[in-house]
Structures are given as structure tokens and as C-alpha cells.
Copies of this chain bind each other. A is one copy, B any other.
Amino acid sequence: MDSQNQYCVARPIYSTRAFEHANERQVRETKSFKEKLKNSCRLSPKLPMMIVKKFFPIFNWLPIYQLRLWLPGDIVAGITTGMVCALQGLAYSLLVGVGPIYGLFAAFFPILPYFILGTSRHLSVGPFPVTCLMQGAVVFSLAPDEMFMYAGNTTDNGTAPMVLNVTARDSQRLSIAATMTVLIGLFQFGMGVAQVGFLVRYLSDPLVGGFTTAAAFHVVVSQLKLIFNVPTNNYNGILSFFYTIGDIFKNIKQTNMVDLLAAVLTIIVVMGVKEINAKYQHKLPVPIPIEVIVTIIDSGVSYALDLSTRYNAGIVRIIPRGFIPPRQPDVSLFSSFGGPSFSTAVVSYAIAISVAKVYAAKHDLTVDGNQELIAFGISNIFCGCFSGFVATTALSRTAIQESTGGKTQVASIISALMVLIVIVALGPLLQPLQKSVLGAIVVSNLKGMFMQVHDVPILWRKNKTDCIIWVFTFTACIFLGLDVGLLAGVVFELGTVVIRTQFPSCATLGNVPSTDIYKNMKDYKNITEFPGTKIFKCTAPIYFANIEYLKDQIKNKVGFDAVRVFKKRNKALKKIHRLIKKGTLKVTENGLVPVAPLGVDNEAFESERDPGQVEGGSQKEVEDGARSATEVEVQVDWSSTLPDGVTVPKVDIHSFVMDFSAVSFLDVMAAKSLKLIIKEFIRIGVNVYIAGCDDEIVMKMESMGFFDEMVNRGMLFLTVHDAILYIKMETGSEIADGSDVFAEKISQLQDEKALPYTEDEDFIETYDNQRLAIHGLSS
């Protein structure tokens, strides 16, 4: 067992080049676009049927519909859901700002196209408070009350009070809502055709969490007006949330106590019974339809006591019977709500697809994101033409439909029939219903959305960034309104992805003795660096936003700035040459030997210019020095003791290994900068190795012209250990901790490779002028 539990490997050291030499590469098949098209269009006898099934998913399940098994469940589910659907339609119409009958339309029409086109079998299609509110924001801002005021009859004191033209206002609002619904549908349909359903993935869980919680707050504030039955102005955009609250408090004295009482009672009863429903979920055959019961009771009480006349309660008042004919959307309005329509389209789709996926996973079915976009698109266009408003789904409603036994969209059709009955027959019976009760029902349905606040501390513990996304989106949505807030949230979220890669964690690695394992030096106690080498690991893609940071990190980890070292060495060389010329320094077999005690003779030189302040020295002077000294060729061993007054930064490494195993991509800027970094190291005699680079990235590097004579594929190694072994082999030294022999070896290695270089032609020239020493006393 013990011998089995061993990791034993004996193989050649592999540079990428050596590896590819030993192992034959396979040419990847790259099918041309034409071939791909041909393959996908290959005719088969089943093709027409497949196409039909793809675009009309109903044919996937209707032909195998099992009447005996599925129909009973579908009927029960359909009836239960239908009641909820109708009631939610009525209630949510208040959010959109149109008459309650249109809420019933919104609960009825979208189901029909979805029945044929939708891929989810459990989704209960219909209105959802968040999307209704987003539509309402547009409706109220484009058709505020103020637009429909006209001077009424002159009163006794000679002034004409302003009167609201309710008919004109409601007709305009309806037109806006219906047209916007069509536009939303067009957006969704277009996105479906363009197959960009994947874009919805940008709406991550924390983002959606923050958004829907903020939406719940907005919904409550919008319903407070109805619950208290106080007048408020219509605010929109930035800070409208707070202005509305301000208005409610300003007018709180006008509260209608009957409406408030009914609303509070409704909230208590509905939320209480919902608790019971949840608790006894498994014991109840169907959940108690408490909203329906409350509605019926309130309608009865309101009618019996004539609350409207006697207590001035706000009631629904008019629910006409039957349908209105379809009408053309007012295309001229499109431009005035393009942005909000797009965000509503995205949100409504995002909600629907996430709910659909939950139930698809549960029942081992699949939903097709793009087909869903098309289905919702057509449903909304259809619904908009029949004066409905935007359709998506609600998790709660779909949960009811599924838990009461709904198997297919047949349940939805039956629920639509229920709504139809209300539309054509029962509507007028609901006319005495108090609006505050409807508002209270809306509010009581938001519990789940509010409960998401509990996610925040959990998220904070799990991942700060995700928590910040949640809070940012929430705050943005509260302050800026839902559509702008959502956009801000998405931009912020994408920003965090960039930021996360912009400051990657960089580490210096060390070897775990007698293994091939390299770990962060900071993390383990018993790990060692091979003398004269530095291993640097970057855990991120390298691209324009983080290349500067990476440069700083490299400087930081190696402990010197390669460019600066090069400059300093050139300056020192110049100085040495001057000393040689002056005769104060001599070139011998042992290196540079001072002829006279430097301390004396150097005074004159030092007074000329303070060696401590050589930065920014005159270019001309440097060049002069360079030219005058070119006749003498000196090889300076930079790690040996230099003459007094000549100082260069210490470079204590001869090899620099970059572990690229966690680099997932490079862009052009990164490739350019990396190449320069490598050349700067080579120029001062430090060899650079790249280890663990993914084959695909090597290919990318090649196509970006990363490799040339100096930066060549020979520096690529399969693993860090391969590179280190190679370095060991090259230095010919077995771990000889900083011994003199080793230091000599290092400097020798450095000197052999040292040469001036830079990308910029201008630089090359300067360096060439300054370059003094190539040959001479090589040891």
C-alpha cells in the first residue's frame, strides 16, 4: 500500500519545444463555415418534423398527451390557478395605471400563443408586479393627471376649478400601456430570432435579488396611495420613490379610515392564511384561495354597506363585460419609451426563464431559451394588440399550478378559461370591490421578495463582491428607478468582473523540498527558493487593464526595476571608463583595480556632480562619455565589488520563471508589454522562462508576434519544475545556497546574456550609443 501511494515520475525535462518534438501534434479539424452549414442542413426525412417541433413545441407533448393520467391534474391546477390569475390581473392593473378589465385581458391573452409556442409545460403566463410597475412608471410619466386638466364650470366666486378629464386620461394611458406591450414583445421576438438569449446570464442572482427587492419596495410605495386612499402626484425617475412617500405623509390626514381598515384586515388575513397554506402544504389538496375569498367578501360588504357613497371609499367602480376589439399599436409612441421597454422586456424574460428552468429541472424536461424569447415576444405582441399589458410569470402562481397537479400547458388553457368567465360574466359583480383591498392583496404577495433581504448578510460572508453587487443594484433601483437602476446594476456588475481581474493575486513561489510542487512562499514554512531564481505566478488573464499592475507586481517581487538597473549600469560603465581614462582604474585579470586610492582622486569628479543625484542626468553628457570611451572595452562583473563612487542596484537573480498556468487569455497590449518586460530582464542578464502556458495561449502568442530571436519558444517550459530543473542543469550547480562559487556562476551567466535592448527604436539608438562593454576580461 505504501509503495502504491507513491508519485513516481522519471521523464526528460521538457521545454515546450522538446515536448512537441517528442510528441507528435495532431492537426485539429477546423470545419469551414460552409461545411458546418452543410452538415446542419443535411436533409433527413425527419427534418421537416423537427423544424415544426422546434418552432411549435406544442407538437412535442400534445400528441403524447395522456388524457386519463394528466387531464385530472391539469383541470384542478387550471381552476385553482385561474382564480389567482384573474385576481392578480385585477390587482396588478392598478400598478400599470389602466382599468381593472385590462388586467383580466393581460391574464387571458398571452396564455394562448404561449400554449402553442412555449417550451415550458408548467409556466403560468401572466402579469407580474415588477414588470407591471416598470410599465406603470412609463404610463404615469407620459400621461400624468396634469395633462388632462381642463377648466370646469365657473363657480360662485368667479374662478373656474380645474377638472380632470378621466376618460381622455384613461384612454391615453391604455394606449401607452398596450403599445409598450407590443414594443416589449417586438424586442423579445427580435432577441429570440437573433439567438441572444444568453445575454440574460448577465442578470446574476445577486443582481436580480437586489433588483426584485427594490421593486418590492417600489410596489409597496405605489400601493400605499390606494391603501390610505390619499392623493399623490405622479413622480418618475430619480428619487421618485422618496417624493411619493413625502406626498403620502403630507396628505396622511386625508386618509380614508374605511379603506385603510379593509386593507389592513386583508393583509393580516391573506398573509396569515398563506402561512397556513405553506405549513400544511402536504395535507391540503389545494391551497386555500384566500385572495379570492377576501375579494368576494369585500365586494359583498362594500355593496351591502354602500361604502363608496357613505364613506367615500375608493372602489373599482367600472368593470365592463366582454372584450374590446383588437387595435393597432400607436407606433409613433415607440421612440418615447424605447429604453424602458427594452429593460422591461429583459426583466420579464429573465423572470420567466428562471422560473421555467426550475420546473424543467424538476421534471427532467428542457426549456429552450431562445424559443422562450420568441414565445414571450409573440405572446406580448398578441396581448398588446388586445389592450393587455406585459406578460411574464410569477414564481408563486407557477408553483400553485405545478403543486396542484398541473402537468402541461393544458392547465394554463383551463386557467385562461376561468379568466374568460370572469371577463364575460362575473366582472360587474366585482365593481364594488375596494381598491385598497386590491392594493393590500398586491402587498401581501410580496413577502417572498422582501425575504430576500436575508440574503445580504449570507452573501457578505460568502463573497463580498457579490454582496456589493446586490446592495448596489438595490440602492440604484431605489434611487434611480427600476429601469435605470437595473442598467446601472449591470454595468456595475460587469465592472466588478473587470476589477476582479484587474488586481489579480500575484505570488512568489517556492519549492517544497524533494518534490515537484511549488507553492506561495507566504503560505508554507518549509519551502525554499532555488538560489538565483525567482518564480512569479499571476492568477488572472493578462490584458490592458491589469498589465500595469502586473509590471509593478513583478518589480515588487523581484526587488528591482530592470530598466533602472540597466540605466544605472550604463552610467556606472561610463564612470568606470572615465576613471580608466584618468588612469585611476586599471583593467587586470582580476577585474577592475584602482590605481590610486580612489578617495583622493575622485574628489574632483564628485564635486562636478553629486553621484547621489545622477537621475535625470544630461543626455548629451552621457553620449559624450559613451563615445569617448568606446575605444576601451571592459567587461564588468556587476556582482563583484565595484570601485568607490560607482554604485549599481544589486541584481541577485539570474533566472526569472513566470508561471502562466492560471493565465486564461492575453491581449495585444499584454503581449507587447510582456515581451518588453522579458527583454528588459534579458538585457540585464536575467534569463526568463515561462512555465505552464496553455497550448492555446502559446498559439495566440505566436499569432501576436510574441516570439522573435530574443524572446523565443525555447523559454517555454511545460511546468515550473521543468524550468527549474533546466536552470539547475544550466548552472551546473546542485543547490549551493548562495555560495561564492554559485554567485560567480550567476554573474557569469548574467554577463553572457547581457545586452542592451528595447522595443522603441529611439531607445535602441540611445542604448547603442551608451553601450560600452561587450568583450574583454571574460572570466
Shortest Cβ distance from residue A20 to the other chain B in the assembled complex, whole angstroms: 9
Verify A544–B11 contact, CB threshold 8 A.
no
Q: Are B517 and A4 in contact (CB under 8 A)?
A: no
Q: Is the CB–CB distance between A201 and B545 below 8 Å?
A: yes
Q: Is the Cβ of B541 less than 8 Å from the Cβ of A664?
A: yes
A236 at the interface (CB under 8 A from B): no
Interface presence of A522 (CB below 8 A): yes
Closest to A566 in B: B364
Chain A residues 475-499 with CB under 8 Å of chain B are: 491, 493-495, 497-498
Are A762's CB and B664's CB within 8 A?
Answer: no
Query: What 0/1 pattern do residues 381 to 418 of A give for CB contact below 8 A with B?
Result: 00000000000000000000000010110000000000
A62-95 interface code vs B (CB 8 A; 1 in, 0 out) = 0010100110010000000000000000000000
* CB-contact partner of A501 in B73, B497, B527, B669, under 8 A: B497
Copies of this chain, tallied across the complex: 2
Residues in B with CB closer than 8 Å to A564 are 364
Cross-interface CB contact of A718 among B517, B609, B613, cutoff 8 Å? B517
Q: CA of A14 to CA of B361 in the docked complex: distance in angstroms?
A: 37
How distant is the Cα of A709 from the Cα of B615 in the complex, in angstroms?
A: 61
Instruction: Find chain B residues with CB under 8 A from A692 CB.
Output: 661
Chain B residues whose CB sits within 8 angstroms of the CB of A505 once the complex forms:
696
Q: Is the CB of B501 within 8 A of A498?
A: no
Contact B668 A705, beta carbon cutoff 8 Å:
no
Q: CB within 8 Å of B: which of A288-337?
A: none
- Identify which of A24-32, A270-278, A593-601 touches chain B: A24-32
A28 and B618 within 8 A (CB): no
A695 and B619 within 8 A (CB): no
B8 and A704 contact, CB distance less than 8 A: no
List, in ascending order, chain B residues with CB within 8 A of A28's CB.
Answer: 522-523
A204 within 8 A of B: yes
Within 8 A of B (CB), among A422-479: 459, 461-463, 465-466
Say yes or no: A64-B613 contact (C-beta < 8 A), given A11-B514, A497-B497, A497-B501. Answer: yes
Cα A668 to Cα B198 with chains together (Å): 19
Residues B695 and A523 in contact, CB atoms below 8 Å apart: yes
Contact: A523 with B661, CB < 8 Å? Answer: no
Among B515, B567, B618, B695, contact of A70 (Cβ-Cβ < 8 Å): B618
Query: Which residues 337-395 of A have a CB within 8 angstroms of B?
Result: 361-365
- Is the beta-carbon distance between B9 and A515 smaller than 8 angstroms? yes
B residues less than 8 Å from A249 (CB atoms): none
Partner of A461, one of B502, B662, B703: B703
In the complex, the answer to whether A26 meets B525 with C-beta atoms within 8 Å is: yes
| Complex contact B618–A517 (CB within 8 A) | no
In the complex, A363→B202 CA distance in Å? Answer: 45
In contact, A664 and B515 (Cβ under 8 angstroms): no
Residues 560-582 of A, flagged 1 when their CB comes within 8 A of B and 0 if not, give: 00011001000000000000000
CB pair A619–B363 under 8 Å, yes or no, is: yes
Smallest CB–CB gap between A661 and chain B, Å?
A: 5
Please choose the segment from A36-44, A168-176, A637-645, A721-729 that sits at the chain B interface, where 4 or more of its residues have CB less than 8 A away: A721-729
Q: Which of B9, B26, B525 contacts A24 (CB 8 A)?
A: B525
Q: Which residues of the other chain, B, contact A667 by a CB distance below 8 angstroms?
A: 204, 463, 465-466
Interface residues on A, range: 35 or more
Q: Are A543 and B497 in contact (CB under 8 A)?
A: yes
User: Are the C-beta atoms of B462 and A705 separated by less than 8 Å?
Assistant: yes
Given contacts A201-B545, A700-B463, contact A520 B6 (CB under 8 A): no
A490 to chain B minimum Cβ distance, whole angstroms, is 10
Alpha-carbon distance between A615 and B64 when the two chains are bound, in angstroms: 10
Contacting pair B14 A517 (CB below 8 A): yes
A497-B498 CB under 8 A given contacts A363-B616, A696-B539:
yes
- How many Å from the CB of A53 to the closest CB on chain B? 13
Candidates B8, B205, B539, B545; contact of A202 at CB < 8 Å: B545
Q: A721 contacts which chain B residues (CB < 8 A)? A: 7, 9
**Which one of B69, B545, B696 lies within 8 Å of A621 (CB-CB)?**
B69
A5 interface residue (CB < 8 Å to B): yes
A201 CB contact (under 8 Å) in B523, B548, B663: B548
Is the C-beta of A516 less than 8 angstroms from some C-beta in chain B? yes
0/1 string, A179-204, CB within 8 A of B gives 1: 00000000000000000001001101
- Note all chain B residues with C-beta closer than 8 A to A627: none
Query: For the complex, what is the distance from the CA of A345 to the CA of B493, rounded to whole Å?
Result: 24
Let me know if B668 and A206 touch, CB within 8 A. yes
- A665 interface contact, C-beta 8 A: yes
In the complex, the answer to whether A13 meets B24 with C-beta atoms within 8 Å is no
Please name the residue on chain B nearest to A70 by beta carbon: B618
A61: interface (CB < 8 Å): yes
Cross-chain contact B9 with A7 (CB below 8 angstroms): yes
Closest to A68 in B: B618
Nearest-neighbor residue (CB-CB) of A204 within chain B: B544
Is the pair A25, B462 in contact by a Cβ cutoff of 8 Å? no
- Report the bound CA distance from A490 to B7 in whole Å: 49
Cα separation A498 to B199 with both chains bound (whole Å): 11
On chain B, the residues within 8 Å of A11 by CB distance are 6-7, 514-517
* Beta-carbon contact of A664 and B501 below 8 Å: yes
* Interchain CA distance A487-B619 in the complex, whole Å: 41
Knowing that A8-B10, A463-B671, A540-B664 are A-B contacts, what are 19 other residue pairs whose CB atoms are under 8 Å apart, sorted by A's residue number? A6-B10, A6-B11, A7-B13, A7-B516, A8-B9, A23-B512, A24-B525, A201-B545, A201-B548, A202-B545, A204-B544, A204-B545, A206-B669, A362-B760, A461-B703, A462-B704, A466-B667, A494-B495, A497-B497
Q: What are 5 A-B interface contacts by the 8 Å CB criterion?
A: A6-B12, A7-B10, A28-B522, A66-B609, A661-B662
Which 7 pairs, one residue from A and one from B, show the smallest C-beta to C-beta distance? A204-B544, A462-B704, A364-B567, A466-B668, A11-B515, A69-B618, A9-B516
